[in-house]
Amino acid sequence: MIENGILGIVGILTGTVILISTLGFIYFMRSAYRYGSRDEANKFFGSYMFNNPKRYIIAFLFLVLAGMSLSIGFIFAFIASFFMSPLVIWELLSSVSLIALAGFFVTFTSIDHPKSFLNYIAFLKAKNKKK
């Protein structure tokens, strides 16, 4: 019972983090498309990734961790289903997967450091007003 509560809390927290970071990224892309061009948005995002390579290496390591924990969960839960309830395995590995996915979304979308994205949107708005 306690494990279900822990999984529920982890699920709510990570789901909220993923939702906020995804909405922030959608806002950035929508603003870049609205006030600039697709090429400018691609150049900015590409240069941001190029200038912050450690951030994106960490982001994709989180994604790899999430994928590995899901695949291990599938394998061991299937094997364990012959001997015991596989829910215990899924509670642990799905929590790891959700946390890793939230880590990926936060680092990939830079929601933890949005200043550069917001500055870029302000730059595009100012540039758009001059036209």
Compute the C-alpha angle 94/8/10, nearest 5°.
60
- Residue 111 CB neighbours (<10 A): 19
Confidence band, pLDDT 50/70/90 cuts, at residue 2: low
The whole-angstrom separation of Cα 110 and Cα 125 is: 20
pLDDT at 34: 79
State pLDDT tens for residues 17-47.
888 888 888 888 788 777 777 777 777 777 7
On the question of pLDDT at 61 being above 90, the answer is yes
